[in-house]
Copies of this chain bind each other. A is one copy, B any other.
Amino acid sequence: MGLPHIVNAKPGDVSKNVIAVGDPGRVELLATLLESPMVVNKHRGLTVVTGYYKNSKVTIATHGMGCPSANIVFEELGILGARRIVRLGTAGGLHESVKIGDVVVATGAMYVNGGCGLSQYMPGYCGASSPDPVLTYRIIKELEKTGISFKKGPLFTSDAFYAESPEMASRLSKYGALAVEMEAAGLFTLGWIRGWETGCVVVVSNVLHGGEPNKEFLTTRELADKFLKTAQVLMEVFNKYYGEP
């Protein structure tokens, strides 16, 4: 597939182990957990940083918003050597049991027929939009050890933030979806196509159930705190089981 067009980095610049986030600001936040962080991409504002967590190389990458953007970044990280990608993002709560501030470990992702760019990869099929179970198990166990409370269950990966509604939340939560976000189904399905291990953990920043969707949002500070703690869990998992010197 040739050289990457968006992520202007060289193969050595990217670790086998990647944490991917939507917002470049969050890459900067999470990079504070790394030693010797090096910015390996700034192109298109999609900041990518590689550094070390406890002697283990880790890359933190911005994937932008939505599957078409994120899938390009994932594909190019793959070309550059990534073998394991965990998305850490925000989500809107769909199920009534899911509250602002909750952490959700994704066990799968539903999506609209033809959505997430996946019908161009596999026209006519619903993809295997499931994370790697071993990697997911290890994240779950590490979260439990750290004492961060979390829920586990499927997400809904949306392509249209402004078309979401309480009615949709009610319908999707009947299908088992805990929260809505915009990139997991693409990441999971591409993972099986390309041979990467994938996972996804989200922090619920707002909820769509109840009378009015997206009325209240988690404060930036609370979000930052949750993100740092959860990212550290992911780095621990990378370091323990998949460490790259």
Hey, which bits of chain A sit against chain B, CB under 8 A?
1-2, 5-6, 22-25, 43-47, 62, 64-69, 71-72, 75, 107-134, 136-137, 140, 152-155, 158-164, 172, 174-177, 182, 185, 188, 192-193, 195, 214-215, 217
Contact = CB atoms under 8 A, between A and B. Distances in A.
Contacts of A129: 108, 126, 128-130
A2 B108 contact: no
A127 B126 contact: yes
A234 to B, nearest CB: 15
Given A113-B119, A123-B124, A62 B45 contact: yes
Closest 6 CB pairs of A and B: A114-B114, A66-B68, A130-B130, A45-B45, A108-B130, A176-B192
Contacts of A43: 23, 25
B161 A72 contact: yes
A18 B18 CA distance: 36
B110 A122 contact: yes
A109 B47 CA distance: 31
A68 B71 contact: no
Contact of A163 (B24, B121, B126): B121
A22 B76 CA distance: 17
